[in-house]
Structure 1
Amino acid sequence: MRLETIHPKELGPEALAQWRALQHASATLQSPYLTPDWAQLVGATRDDARVCVIDDGAGFFAAQRLSRFTAMGAGAPISDYNAIVANADLRIDAGALCKALKVGRIDLTHVPQGPTPISAIGAEGSWIAETAGGRDLYEAALKQRRSEFVRQTDKKGRKFARDCGYIEFRASAPERAEFEQLLTWKNAQLKRSGQPDIWATPWVRRVLDATFEHRATSFNGVLFSLSIDQRLIAAAYCLRAGKVLHFWIVAHDSEYDSYSPGVQLARWAVGWAAENSIAEVDFGPGDYQYKRQLSTTQRMLSYGVVSGVSVSGAVRRTTQALRAGMERLPNPKLAALPGKAMRRLDLMRALAA
């Protein structure tokens, strides 16, 4: 196996074409977060971004090197997918990959099925709305699976219109004022819930702004908005690549909580996707009610470590094994504690880098 490690800005036209062809050929690797565009946008902000080019373009892996001990997937923790983009039968040596990045291990979350040589400790599902068949087929599938949710959402939507007047839904390239309002709402929401202020972290904000400015046909941001009398009530910022739309940031004006405007907007956005050549809307992992309610299937994603013989790799595998053991305990709250602690630690490491 031949490995060349470069900064994403060094990717040439041939490599970009090879990368996109590999994505196009795979059913599980088409996420916007696995595109060369994403790697380059992260690389424009982070000097530690790297791309491992495997066997002269047979595979690509985008990462960021946090220290001499550890790397993570490009854009972690704001990227919902990490993986090597290659044909499923490509054999990759984990130790050689770490050596190429000059680290002891690579910590990965949300890895879809494919050639990534991960020692998986566990898995969780990404919630998917299948939209290839059009809006009517999606709505029929949703009613079959979530009839009470559809009834309640429709009821709230009618009350929303009666109480507030004409509701305007729009999908467009991001508009700066609405984009900024969305981030203001989201940052306030994180603060209220005691979570880290992810979107205000300088390098994260620069990546977010870079996606906002990016207008390539292969990768772009889409802003969905819900307004009443030209007043923004809810917004969702998504990434689109090919036939995949990935929900990223969703928030709304808390004054309208009783109408569930974020859910109303998300459902409308899925319908828009079904009418605009989108095959799937990916809500990402995370056990949020609206994701379960709007989805029609799940894609399982692994989390774990990629490493050869290294102390840091052994330490990570040991702590992950302890976490897996705790998660088998009969007390759900106690079982969830190690995973929450490790995710929080990984989040803080990535944000501080």
Structure 2
Amino acid sequence: MRVTVTHPRELGQPELSRWRALQESDAAFDNPFLSPEFTVTVGELRDLVRVAVLYDGPDIVGFFPFERHPLGIGKPVAAGLTDAQGLVHAKGLDLDPRRLIKDCGLSVYEFDHLVAGQPLLGDGRHTVHPSPIIDLRDGYGPYTETLRTHSGKTYKTTLAKSRKLQREAGPLRHDYATTDTGPLHTLLGWKTDQYRRTGRTDRFAHRWIVELVERLLATQSDSFAGVLDMVYVDDVPMAGHFGVRTRTTLAGWFPAYDTQYAKFSPGLIHHLAMAESAAASGVQVIDMGRGEKEYKDKLKNGQLEVAEGRVARAGVAAGVHWMMRVPVRKTRATVMANPLLLKTADKALKTYGRLRTVLQG
């Protein structure tokens, strides 16, 4: 196997077409974060993005997108933002993960949402985590029947709150797959407020992330697109979501709502509306991403699996990386797996968020 490493802007149309063909040949790769359009767009904004192109003789058999950080530390493209990571490759590809990262000029490659079946998982130094989905392959009607059976109280309560909202505030309107940047910035403003309110880092304080979302919204094709959808009450925006899609998978990414409507469960109202419109447009799966969230538990009717870990070559850089990252990752995984610890940590973050808001106000 031969490996060449290039910046995504240097990939030609033959390479991009081969990438799409490999992606569409295996359901494990059916996620927009693994699409060439996503890597190319991030590469326009982040010069540290690279793509390893894998050859078997004259044939391209794989694409490995990554970011190359100082000391040879490799990370997924748009690390910390994406819910699907890994190598897009031909079936039956056999490779040595350490040899691959050496060919990429890396000492370590760390990941936290590596999709199933990756040859990068060869050394077993990883943990596996569920990634909840809304499975719409049988259609929206059968999905709601599943909700009635397994989350009946949630489903009925959400419908009742929707009716109450319309009686008190006005009719609901759902605008699916709009490309208007005005509602997009309304949504990002809500998300920034949510990050601050809950003590999280505001991702949209980074200009490149805002520009990434804007560019993805402007990217519209059959195989890949940015998807913005908003729910309005009496023509006033109430809740929304921005994500990206392939032909059949919509990746949940940035959901948010106006907190003045919080008592009506606007997030759940919105997700049901989004699922209905997505199914009508041909989407078969909404991947809500790894992470313990109450709304995901209420809405899911299936799950995928993603892995967290690293591939490392022996050396000083890999040792330093282990000391800085692995104990922290293990501690976080312990907290996430324990409902009591997770609740305590979430409460502490929200308290911090309130204090920060007061001090900055």
Q: Any idea what SS the aligned residue of 1:246 has?
A: strand
Residues 1-353 of structure 1: matches in 2 within 5 Å?
1-55=1-55, 56-118=59-121, 119-316=124-321, 320=326, 324=330
Q: Which runs of 5+ in 2 are unaligned?
A: 346-361
Provide the C-alpha distance between the structure 1 equivalents of 2:82 and 2:108, rounded to a whole number of angstroms. Answer: 19
Asked whether the 8 Å contact 2:181–2:214 carries over to 1, the reply is no
Asked whether the 8 Å contact 2:223–2:246 carries over to 1, the reply is yes
Asked whether the 8 Å contact 2:166–2:233 carries over to 1, the reply is no
Provide the C-alpha distance between the structure 1 equivalents of 2:89 and 2:315, rounded to a whole number of angstroms. Answer: 25
State the Cα deviation string for residues 156-192 of structure 1 (Å, max 9, x = none). Answer: 1121121112111110332111001001111111111
Q: How well do the aligned residues superpose, as a CA RMSD in angstroms?
A: 2.4
Asked whether the 8 Å contact 2:173–2:233 carries over to 1, the reply is yes
Please state how far the C-alpha of 1:226 moved relative to its aligned partner: 0.9
Asked whether the 8 Å contact 1:67–1:103 carries over to 2, the reply is no
Provide the C-alpha distance between the structure 2 equivalents of 1:334 and 1:295, rounded to a whole number of angstroms. Answer: 23
Provide the C-alpha distance between the structure 2 equivalents of 1:76 and 1:317, rounded to a whole number of angstroms. Answer: 17
User: Percent identity between the aligned chains?
Assistant: 27
State the Cα deviation string for residues 6-61 of structure 1 (Å, max 9, x = none). Answer: 11111112211211111111121111000000010011111111000011420111
The size of the alignment, in residue pairs, is 338
Asked whether the 8 Å contact 1:327–1:335 carries over to 2, the reply is no
Instruction: Tell me whether 97-106 or 32-41 shows the greater mean CA deviation.
Output: 97-106
Provide the C-alpha distance between the structure 2 equivalents of 1:239 and 1:201, rounded to a whole number of angstroms. Answer: 19
State the Cα deviation string for residues 94-125 of structure 1 (Å, max 9, x = none). Answer: 22222232221011111111234134431221
Q: In structure 1, what residue type is equivalent to 2:227?
A: V
Asked whether the 8 Å contact 2:239–2:258 carries over to 1, the reply is yes
Q: Any idea what SS the aligned residue of 2:60 has?
A: coil
Q: In structure 2, what residue type is equivalent to 1:52?
A: A
Asked whether the 8 Å contact 1:130–1:296 carries over to 2, the reply is yes
Provide the C-alpha distance between the structure 2 equivalents of 1:201 and 1:322, rounded to a whole number of angstroms. Answer: 24
Change (3 A) 1:120 1:253: same
Asked whether the 8 Å contact 1:50–1:63 carries over to 2, the reply is yes
Please state how far the C-alpha of 1:87 moved relative to its aligned partner: 3.1
Provide the C-alpha distance between the structure 2 equivalents of 1:332 and 1:235, rounded to a whole number of angstroms. Answer: 28
Q: In structure 2, what residue type is equivalent to 1:62?
A: P
Asked whether the 8 Å contact 2:225–2:244 carries over to 1, the reply is yes
Provide the C-alpha distance between the structure 1 equivalents of 2:225 and 2:4, rounded to a whole number of angstroms. Answer: 28
Provide the C-alpha distance between the structure 2 equivalents of 1:162 and 1:335, rounded to a whole number of angstroms. Answer: 37
Show the counterpart of 1:350. Answer: none
Q: Any idea what SS the aligned residue of 1:216 has?
A: coil
Asked whether the 8 Å contact 1:88–1:114 carries over to 2, the reply is no
Q: Any idea what SS the aligned residue of 1:68 has?
A: helix
Asked whether the 8 Å contact 2:172–2:231 carries over to 1, the reply is yes
Provide the C-alpha distance between the structure 1 equivalents of 2:42 and 2:187, rounded to a whole number of angstroms. Answer: 21
Asked whether the 8 Å contact 1:120–1:302 carries over to 2, the reply is no
Provide the C-alpha distance between the structure 1 equivalents of 2:167 and 2:338, rounded to a whole number of angstroms. Answer: 45
Provide the C-alpha distance between the structure 2 equivalents of 1:244 and 1:327, rounded to a whole number of angstroms. Answer: 27
Please state how far the C-alpha of 1:134 moved relative to its aligned partner: 1.2
Provide the C-alpha distance between the structure 2 equivalents of 1:43 and 1:186, rounded to a whole number of angstroms. Answer: 24
State the Cα deviation string for residues 200-258 of structure 1 (Å, max 9, x = none). Answer: 21222222221122122221111111112221111111211110111111111111100
Asked whether the 8 Å contact 1:19–1:36 carries over to 2, the reply is yes
Q: In structure 2, what residue type is equivalent to 1:104?
A: S
Please state how far the C-alpha of 1:333 moved relative to its aligned partner: 5.5
Provide the C-alpha distance between the structure 1 equivalents of 2:81 and 2:205, rounded to a whole number of angstroms. Answer: 12
Q: Which runs of 5+ in 1 are unaligned?
A: 339-353
Instruction: Tell me whether 216-225 or 31-40 shows the greater mean CA deviation.
Output: 216-225
Q: In structure 2, what residue type is equivalent to 1:152?
A: T
Q: In structure 1, what residue type is equivalent to 2:23?
A: Q
